[in-house]
Amino acid sequence: MIFSLGIFLAKTRILCLITGRRRRGPLSIYKGIITLLPYSCLIVRIKLVSFMELHKDEKIAMNDTGKAGNLAEISDWSIPSIFSCHIVKNYLAHLLNVKIPLILGVWGGKGQGKTFQTELIFQAMGIEPVIMSAGELESDRAGEPGKLIRERYRTASQVVQNQGKMSCLMINDIDAGLGRFGNTQMTVNNQIVVGTLMNLSDNPTRVSIGQDWRESDITNRVPIIVTGNDFSTIYAPLIRDGRMEKFYWQPTKEDIVNIVHRMYEKDDISKDEVVTIVETFPNQALDFYGALRSRTYDRSISKWIEDIGGIENLGNKLLGRKKNEELPVYTPPQQTVEALLESGYSLLREQQLIMDTKLSKEYMKNIDD
């Protein structure tokens, strides 16, 4: 209760400073945020638990593990302090006599929940992010992606100024857009995007989008968070320590067991049974265990299709039914360890078949091994 009251008072102070003293300059927001600095890591954890308790039944967006989940499913997922510290440091950069990297790079294996974890932290800290994807880092027009990054960065700055909320720019899977793999060529837009991010890191308060130069046009500094799988494919000066902090996200076996247990909690799968599943399929990403549960639904969905008249009538039943006509009730399958293990072995066979077959070699006979 005491911590909750402290959080409320600190947050209220920040909002009052933003809305009531905005004309005194954008630096007023930082005076409120500095109150949170000594307790930033603790506050994030407390707010996360409170948020999950209040919204434990609410669904959230699809995450990069390929499943829809809710916050209660991952309550044992601890938040690394580097996230909260990086965000707070950037809002206090003008008060700290030290060089603060603008970018935080979160990298790790595929399907490990990097994007989901970041979104969770945004919700816990009350941050309104401006999100981009790697697909927006290329365009048929030269210079367009670089301009878009600057526009999104200024949008995040406007969130701070106009809405009284902390904000940041987030770019998902940046190595997919900027990484160089094998003999792939660097495009003009790749170079411009890299140069834009480097310039933002060096001059985060002077961001032009092509308008006439104005000495008074100062942009609020907001942190940039990027996710990816392999940052070694990105231009080295961009990821140097002065511009980007790096954080390797790799959940431990205990983390995975806790997350998967929450994932299967509503199915009455005990923690010991989850340990059995995780040990049966070691070295798998988190999305694998979400796919296990999804695969067990296939048989019951096939039966449901038969109940509505088969695949011939599927389109009419799903999209062309009358307003008051209801679909047959769908009954989810009863989850058992045996069914989950069976699904797991099926997924493993598919993985191995892809690795063994390699049809690309059949299509291109001259490909090198």
Mean per-residue pLDDT, 213-240: 87
CB neighbours of 65 closer than 8 A, spacing ≥ 6?
111, 112, 113, 116, 285, 286, 287, 290
Gap between the Cα atoms of 200 and 171, Å rounded: 14
Q: Across all residues in the chain, what is the average pLDDT?
A: 76
Query: How do the domains of the chain map onto residue ranges?
Result: 79-248, 268-321+329-366
C-alpha dist (Å) from residue 117 to 33, 104, 250, 334: 23, 14, 12, 29
Largest CA distance in the chain: 70
Class of domain 79-248: alpha beta
Check residues 86 and 1 and name the one with the higher pLDDT.
86
Q: Assign 67 to helix, strand or coil.
A: coil
Q: What is the pLDDT of residues 96-109, one digit of tens each?
A: 888 899 999 999 88
Q: The whole model's pTM is what?
A: 0.67
User: pLDDT class for 55, splitting at 50, 70, 90?
Assistant: very low
Over 90: is that where the pLDDT of 50 sits?
A: no
Do residues 105 and 246 lie in contact, with contact meaning Cβ atoms separated by under 8 Å?
Answer: yes
Mean per-residue pLDDT, 191-212: 87
CB neighbours of 297 closer than 8 A, spacing ≥ 6?
332, 333
Highest mean pLDDT among 13-17, 126-130, 182-186: 126-130
Q: What is the pLDDT of residues 131-149, one digit of tens each?
A: 999 999 999 898 999 999 9
Gap between the Cα atoms of 259 and 251, Å rounded: 10
268-321+329-366, what's its fold? Helicase, Ruva Protein; domain 3 (1.10.8)
Residue 211: per-residue pLDDT: 66
Lowest mean pLDDT among 135-139, 255-259, 342-346: 255-259
User: pLDDT class for 243, splitting at 50, 70, 90?
Assistant: very high
Over 60: is that where the pLDDT of 19 sits?
A: no
